[in-house]
Each structure stands twice: as C-alpha cells, then as structure tokens.
Amino acid sequence: MEKPSPPLRKRPVVDRRAWWLSASSATEAQTRFFEGTGADLELADTLVENAVGWMPIPLGVASGLLVNGINYEVPLATEEPSVIAAVSYAASVAARTGGFTAGAAAPIMRAQVFLEHPGAEAAARLEASRTALEAEARTHLASMERRGGGLRGLSLAHLTDLDVLVVRLDVDVRDAMGANLLNTLAEAMTPSLEKALGGKKLLAILSNDASLRPAWAEVKLSVDPERARRIALASAVAQADPQRAVTHNKGIMNGITALALATGNDTRALEAAVHSFAASSGTYRGLSRWTVEGEFLKGRLEIPLALATVGGSVGIHPTARMALQLLGSPDSPTLCSVAAALGLAQNFAALNALTGEGIQKGHMALHQRRTGATA
C-alpha cells in the first residue's frame, strides 16, 4: 500500500513548491515566472505557513507628491491600472498651489480584555486598584517605554445587555503596529484584572480600530470654477448616498492600501479600521469633503491610519525596507501623513475624471495598453 503523503505543513518548502507547480498544472511560462531563489523561498517560509512561493504584485512609483513642503516619490504596490497615473496627475495639480498639508496624531492603539459577569461596582474597584494595575502594565511595556511610548490610558466600558466588562488599555506604540505587543499585554494583564474587577476572561486581544490615531490631509487647488462646483457636489453626494460612498472610499484607498502593501503593512487591519470609521455616524459616508472657497477648491480628508515603519514584515521584507528608504525612512506619523495626502490626491483625481469625461476613458486606455485589447 502506498504511504500517504505528509501534510503540507510537515513538508520542506521546496517540496511544497514542487507540489504547487504540479497541482496547478503550471505551464513552462508560468513556472519561469513563478521561480525564485532559495532566499525567496526561505523568506516566504518565514513570513507565512505552508509557503510555496510568491504572488508578485507590480510595484510602481507615484511622482512628485508634495506634502508639508517635502517632495515624495511614493512606492505603490497594486495590480490596478491608472492608480499610479491618477496620483501623479493630482500631485502635479496640487504642487502648483503649494501641495498638501498633512499630519497625524500620536500612535495610540488599544488592547481589550473582556470579562464575563464582572463584580459589582467595577469602576470603583478599578480606581482602588489603578495604581497597581498601571504599574504592572508598565512592566510589560518596558521596552516600548524606553522608546518614548508606553501606557497612555486604562478605562472601562460595560456591555450591560451582555453582562460583559471591557477593560481598555491604551498604548503609544511609537513606530510599530504593535499587534503582538498589545496581545501579549492583554493576556498578561488578565489574571490581575480578573482578581481586581471580578469576572472571567472571555477575550484578550488588541483592537484594530485606529480611531485614536487619526491622520488628516488638506489641499487647495486652482481648477476651473464649474469643475470645482461639480467636484464639491459629487463630494456631497458621497455624504448623502451610502452606495456612492463605498466606491468613493474605495478610490481613496486605492493609493493608501497600495502604499501599505509596498511598505509591508497590514492591509486588512487598515481597511477594517477605515471602513468602520466611515460608518461611525451610523450611516456609511464618504471620508473626504470638497468645498469651493473663493477661487479655490478645498479638500480635506480625515482617516484613521495605523501604519508601521518597524517590526513585523515591515522589518523583514527587503522590498518593504527599500520602499521606506525611498520615502526617507519616515517615522510612523510621517508615513501616515503621506498616506493621508496620497488618499486625498487619489480622491481628487477620481472626482475630476468622474465629473468630466468619465472614469473609463483614461482607465480603459491604460487597461487596453496592458492587455493589448482594442475598443
């Protein structure tokens, strides 16, 4: 009887790669594209489980994004045509009037511990134990505190209908995304929180909600008055119609997500936080607002962004390091500021096309170029 093959997770990475090529019936051309070096395989095996190789995404550069007086060449990893061209066009328009002004709040992220059936008067019990609990939390955050970050808040919320207490630990994570740090903190603090507040742990984990660390960007553009009016009205439509808002925000994220991917950041956490923020009023709305102010079209974008410049795959992936070096090796707030300006630039380019000749003329020209298709 033929011995069954071991599961993928128990096979060497080179064997998993050979299995993939066989199981996917790869052609010679596909195999040549897929082939990589041994170092590529080793890195893939470090980053993910059951690695078989890589799924390369094109990496391009959007040129001339002027943010806070600094000219950035912005690396973007995306498979979609027109994204990079749109940003570069918007950047050139913005540069005529001084470019983008942008900023970002301190990088505060939150860990949560959920306790079932907490004791009575949990708020009073927290205050009685606050000094000891905060001191313990700081012992778990010692390395972050040495870098200027650390604990910034300890608070409670009671989900009354569920009889669940939420303990919130707010931490300045500096240039890291902080997921592992926050998860470790939440789990390490759980026994003391159970003892001090009563109840039993249900969950202990970070929140990917990034509303504590918003980034923003503004720009004033000199455009045709009628076009400015139409762009402002289209922006108002995205505030009033949730279905339009979804596509409006997707356009903003075209650039931001591509930058996050190019720099090795967590695109899923980023998107989840952004779309949660867009719905925080109870209605899903467009993230940007455009208004006509005198002779200028003014745009503003406020968006929660948790982008890291150290740790995780940011620190492991060689191309992510190169992308950050191209940006001048920024800290996290600077990267978030550039990302916010990038999103606003992308939004302007999309609205300018939509309220003019339509999105398809330029987009399809680029699509036809890459596919060889004809109209």
Catalytic residues, which ones? 80, 250, 266, 363
Rg, C-alpha atoms of the chain: 24
Question: What are the beta bridge partners of residue 159?
Answer: 164
Distance between CA atoms of residues 106 and 17, nearest Å:
43
* Sign of the dihedral defined by the CA atoms of residues 341, 347, 350, 355, in that order: negative
Q: What are phi and psi of 201, to 5 degrees?
A: -60, 130
Helix/strand/coil percentages in the chain, nearest 5: 50, 20, 30
Sign of the CA dihedral with 311 first, then 315, 321, and 325 last: positive
For 62, phi then psi, to 5°, come to -90, 125
Enter the tokens of residue 367.
């699509």
Q: Enter the DSSP assignment of 160.
A: G
Contacts of 11 (CB under 8 A, 6+ apart): 5, 19
Sign of the CA dihedral running 165, 145, 210, 235: positive
Residue 141 CA: distances (Å) to CA of 20, 105, 167, 186: 42, 20, 17, 11
**Residue 113 contacts residue 229 (beta carbons within 8 Å):** no
> Which residues neighbour 320 within 8 Å (Cβ) at sequence distance 6 or greater?
262, 263, 264, 313, 314
Q: Identify whether the C-beta of residue 73 lies closer than 8 Å to the C-beta of residue 87.
A: no
State the burial class of residue 55 (Cβ atoms within 10 Å of its Cβ: 0-12, 13-18, 19+).
Answer: exposed
| Bridge partner residues of 115 (DSSP) | 165, 201
For 153-188, b/e burial (b = at least 16 CB within 10 A) is ebebeeeeeeebbbbebebbbbbbbbbebbeebbeb
